[in-house]
Structure formats: structure tokens, C-alpha cells
Copies of this chain bind each other. A is one copy, B any other.
Amino acid sequence: MIDPNYISGYVDGEGSFLVSFSPREKLSIGLEARPSFSVSQREDRSEVLDLMQSYFDCGFIRYSKRDRNRRYEVRNLKDLNKVVIPHFRKFPLLSSKIKDFEVFTQICDLMQNEQHRTRDGFINIINLAISMNIGGSRRYDKKYLLSKLKI
């Protein structure tokens, strides 16, 4: 079995905690928030992704032809709250990436409490997500997201 500290070390280098948003006409609030924990690696040395999937016993692995990377990803909110977040509480990240993790856990907790179904709750989630450091690539800006809230 892979050592839990090994996973935290690997993720501190290669992993990311991200919350993305998509307009969803069918949702009464008009927007969807999607928290995601993911780790990417070049296919030819991506064995650790399979070990992580076995360790966490959730999530999926996808292959991207474009950059020949494989990516292990957990998107299910329950899996994030019950499995992934508790792991990193017990075996914490040691770099400043932990700041993103802390905001990520706040958002997952708010969503567990259905806060993303209210206007104020969703705005809170947007503000938290924007405070995270995701390397500068964000598909929608705050103004656009707020304009899509229907309630």
C-alpha cells in the first residue's frame, strides 16, 4: 500500500484543488459550482495515479491525447468531503498550496450545507473560489458569473 505521506508529497508538487463554474439554464439558480481535486502526470510515469485511485477508492482517471497526460480526478462532493479532505487534514500539505486547500474545504463544506442553492451562498462561493491561486487560467470572470445568477 502506498504511504499516505507519499501521496501528500506527490500532491504538494503535482496536485490541484480547483472550483470551476458553468452556466446551467436548467438549474433554478442558473450556475453550477464544481469543486475538483486532480493530479496530472505524463503517461509514461503515471503509475502513482493508479496507486492514488486505489488508496482513495474513488474518482476516475482520464487520458488526454493532446498533452499525453493522464489525470486522476475526484469531483463527487461526498467523496471530497468524506475521503479526500480528511486525508489532507491528517497528512497536511507543507507548501503554500495548503492555502488553496483550506479555501477548497470551505467551499465543499458550504456546498454540503446546500449554500450553493441560495444567491448569497453562491456569491460567497464565487468570492472564495476567486481568492484561490489556480495559475491564472479562469474561464469566466466574476462579473460574468454574477450576471448568470437567476435568483
Q: How many residues of A contact B (CB 8 A)?
A: 26
Q: Does A113 contact B (CB under 8 A)?
A: no
Q: Does A10 contact B (CB under 8 A)?
A: yes
CB A97 to nearest CB in B, in angstroms, measures 5
CB A56 to nearest CB in B, in angstroms, measures 14
When the two chains form the complex, which single residue of B13, B51, B133 contacts A13, counting CB atoms closer than 8 Å? B13
- What 1/0 flags go to A2-13 for Cβ under 8 Å of B? 111111111111
Q: A41 CA to B48 CA in the complex, in Å?
A: 20
Q: Does A46 contact B (CB under 8 A)?
A: yes
Q: Looking at chain A's contact residues, is the secondary structure mostly helix, strand, loop, or mixed?
A: helix
Contacts of A96 in B (CB 8 A): 44-45, 47
A47 touches B10 (CB 8 A): no
- What 1/0 flags go to A82-108 for Cβ under 8 Å of B? 000000000100111100000000000
Q: A56 CA to B86 CA in the complex, in Å?
A: 29
Q: Does A14 contact B (CB under 8 A)?
A: yes
When the two chains form the complex, which single residue of B2, B11, B41, B95 contacts A45, counting CB atoms closer than 8 Å? B95
A-B pairs with the 10 shortest C-beta distances?
A9-B9, A6-B9, A13-B13, A9-B10, A5-B5, A13-B14, A3-B5, A45-B95, A5-B6, A45-B96
